[in-house]
Amino acid sequence: MLAVRKLDVAYGQSQVIRGLDMDVGHNEIVAVLGRNGMGKTTLFKALMGILPARGGQVAIDSIDVTAMAPHRRVENGIAYVPQGRMIFPSLTVRENIETGLETAREKKIPDDIYGLFPVLFEMRNRKGGNLSGGQQQQLAIARALVSEPRVLLLDEPTEGIQPSIIKDIARVLKEIRKMRELTIIVSEQVLHFALDVADRIAVIERGAIVYEGARGEVDAAHVSRYLAV
Amino acid sequence: MFEGYTASEIGAIFAMQGFAGLSLFCVFLLMALGLAIIFGQMQVINMAHGEFLTIGAYSTYLMSVVAEKHAPWLMDYYFFLAIALGFVVAFAIGWLVEFSLIRFLYKRPLDTLLATWGLSLIMQQGFRSMFGAREVSPTLPEWLLGSWQLSDTIEIPINGLLVVGVTAVLTLAVFFLLFRSRWGLKVRATTQNRVMAEAAGINTARVDRNTFALGCGIAGVAGAVFTTIASTGPTSGSLYIVDTFLVVVFGGAASLFGTIASAFSIAQAQSILEFFINGSMAKVITLAIVIGILMLRPEGLFASRVRK
Ligand SMILES: Nc1ncnc2c1ncn2[C@@H]1O[C@H](COP(=O)(O)OP(=O)(O)O)[C@@H](O)[C@H]1O
Ligand SMILES: [Mg+2]
């Protein structure tokens, strides 16, 4: 589904992603785990086309997207929920969701979105900037989902969010996958959330994947050692 | 400067110059609207914006020549077609300019300033080679030149009313487009967070191009309106660019209401002062007042307070 080959990404002189390889299958949920500063956000930005790849390749369903602008990648089925949510603060909740409709066949928010996130329906006429962190996170996921993606990238969705809403988000992710075919890549610093939602876990350290394992067979103590500060 | 006039005469002069100032107000407002839309969207200060006014003015002139020569039956109505033509031609040229020049300079604001200034000189030279250095005027239909006698001393020029109508309709249309249409949603999303808009699937390069073209198209309509108050020469537009910047800065760049109020007060001040003293003195006094107010309120009269 998503294939990353020998990906290099750098900010000026400092290379952050170094020859990273990763494969994610159809309908799979993979959690990318790693401490702060290990390159999760940089990897996601490169997958999205926000940062250029200095070397290597990114392909979706064997379509090479390495040179494509972000909006072209959205057309090809990637959707992005960035770290920090990046809600449009002075657009209403409804307008925020509508920005994701560009690649949708119908330019209308499907009902099931509000079914997944009832709070967004209640708040639909409020400004995005007035929502709480947890609500903004749900809004960012909704905005990504309406583009009808095949691959969803979620960058640290639980960062700075109350435990009750984290549970909600985990439930929603599993629900979405029951409703439609969707591959999800989610970055995390917290192992138990990853073990709750993901089929497979990949640990990133200094810009490369250093450990991988399916949920049933990961050695939690071993992975924790990568995440300890 | 008021000696020798009775109070009622002064009242009538204010009213008449006020109505005469309406056309100037419309030109200012449309120009400022276009400039502000472009600046708001991509932080580009278009020094060639005045030349798009000139394009609209020459389009109106051409339309009138064509109507006079080939379709006299059109003479009464050609002005409406000229407004549309001014918009379409300025929009198309603006689109090409964005595509071939501006889009390469987005990350370099100073270069954009220089490049658009250079462009304005090139365009002026282009006008000179095409239409000659002499000023031209379209033949306006008779009904447009008439006026409407409100009282013994006050007459309202019909063309003033017409351009106010056109400007109101266009301003409302732009407002509707920006705040009620899907295209406007894309513009606002891009303005607020370009990277996220692009990552949400919006083709921000295309949004930029169309926004730039729209701003130029509005200047084209300002050009059509302009022909009702002055004749058109190669540098007509560039004479307005300073006033337009003044309007935008005075109004507080981000506020539509501020732009309207500021265009109105500057146009009226100039028009009324012009009656009593000569034109360039009127400009100097207006400028001095505006600078004075800006020293007290550097953000402009109506700076929006919701900025982060
Ligand atoms: N805009 C930037 N310019 C330069 N270096 C950056 C920039 N953003 C991140 N980095 C560096 O890249 C590395 C990886 O950062 P990031 O991808 O944000 O990690 P993570 O998301 O895993 O916390 C860090 O060392 C960080 O300092
Ligand atoms: Mg990060």
ipTM: 0.94
* Residue B10 CB-half CA count within 13 A: 9
pLDDT attached to residue B242: 80
pLDDT attached to residue B307: 38
Q: Residue B33 domain-assigned? A: yes
Q: Residue B256 domain-assigned? A: no
Q: What is the DSSP string of A173-216?
A: HHHHHHHS--EEEEEES-HHHHHHH-SEEEEEETTEEEEEEEGG
Cross-chain CB nearest to B200 (options A89, A107, A143): A143
- Give yes or no for A48 touching B (CB within 8 A): yes
Measured CA to CA, the distance from residue A22 to residue A38 in angstroms comes to: 16
**pLDDT > 60? residue A122:** yes
| Closest among B26, B43, B56 to B247, alpha carbons compared | B26
**pLDDT > 60? residue A225:** yes
Measured CA to CA, the distance from residue B295 to residue A114 in angstroms comes to: 50
Give SS3 for A140.
Answer: helix
Measured CA to CA, the distance from residue B262 to residue B101 in angstroms comes to: 31
User: Inter-chain contact B203–A89, Cβ cutoff 8 Å?
Assistant: no
Amino acid at A63: I
Measured CA to CA, the distance from residue B254 to residue B237 in angstroms comes to: 23
Query: How far from chain centre, in Å, is Cα B186?
Result: 24
Residues of chain B contacting A80 with CB distance shorter than 8 Å:
199-200
CA of A100 to the centre of ligand 1 (A): 26
- Give yes or no for A71 touching B (CB within 8 A): yes
Q: What's the topology of domain A2-86+133-227?
A: Rossmann fold (3.40.50)
Q: How many residues does chain B have?
A: 308
Residues of chain B contacting A102 with CB distance shorter than 8 Å:
186, 200-203
Q: For Cα atoms A29, A98, B184, give the angle at the middle one, nearest 5 degrees.
A: 145
Q: Tell the residue nearest (CA) to atom 3 of ligand 1.
A: A11
Joined tokens for residue B127: 């006008």
Q: Which residues of A2-14 are buried (b: 16+ CB within 10 A; e: fewer)?
A: bebbebbbbeeee
Least Cα separation, residue B196 to chain A (angstroms): 7
pLDDT attached to residue B306: 39
pLDDT attached to residue B206: 96
Q: What is the DSSP string of B42-65?
A: H----TTHHHHHHHHHHHHHHHHH
Residue in the block written with tokens 């100032």? B21
- Chain B contact residues (CB < 8 Å to A): 182, 185-186, 188-189, 192-193, 195-205, 306
Measured CA to CA, the distance from residue A87 to residue A140 in angstroms comes to: 7
Interface test with chain B among A47, A71, A109, A151, by most B beta carbons within 10 Å: A71
User: Inter-chain contact B200–A100, Cβ cutoff 8 Å?
Assistant: yes
Measured CA to CA, the distance from residue B60 to residue B65 in angstroms comes to: 9
Q: pTM of the full predicted structure?
A: 0.88
Q: Tell the residue nearest (CA) to atom 6 of ligand 1.
A: A11
CA of A37 to the centre of ligand 1 (A): 5
Q: Residue B147 domain-assigned? A: no
pLDDT tens by residue, chain B, 308 residues: 667 777 777 777 777 777 778 888 899 999 999 998 888 888 888 999 999 999 999 999 999 999 999 988 888 889 999 999 999 999 999 999 999 999 999 888 889 889 999 999 999 999 999 999 999 999 888 888 887 777 777 777 888 888 899 999 999 999 999 999 999 999 999 999 999 999 999 999 999 999 999 999 999 999 999 998 889 999 999 888 888 888 888 887 567 778 888 888 888 888 888 777 776 777 777 778 777 777 777 776 665 543 33
Where is pLDDT greater, at A130 or B109? A130
Amino acid at B63: M
Q: Residue B69 domain-assigned? A: yes
Joined tokens for residue A37: 């500063």
Q: Residue B131 domain-assigned? A: yes
Summarize pLDDT for A61-105 with one digit per residue, the tens. Answer: 989 999 999 999 999 999 999 999 999 999 999 999 999 999 998
| Closest among A47, A55, A68 to A151, alpha carbons compared | A47
Range of the domain at B121: 27-137+157-238
Cross-chain CB nearest to A107 (options B182, B188, B196): B182
Q: Indicate the number of domains in chain B.
A: 1
Q: For Cα atoms A143, A146, A152, give the angle at the middle one, nearest 5 degrees.
A: 75
Q: For Cα atoms A40, A46, A48, give the angle at the middle one, nearest 5 degrees.
A: 105
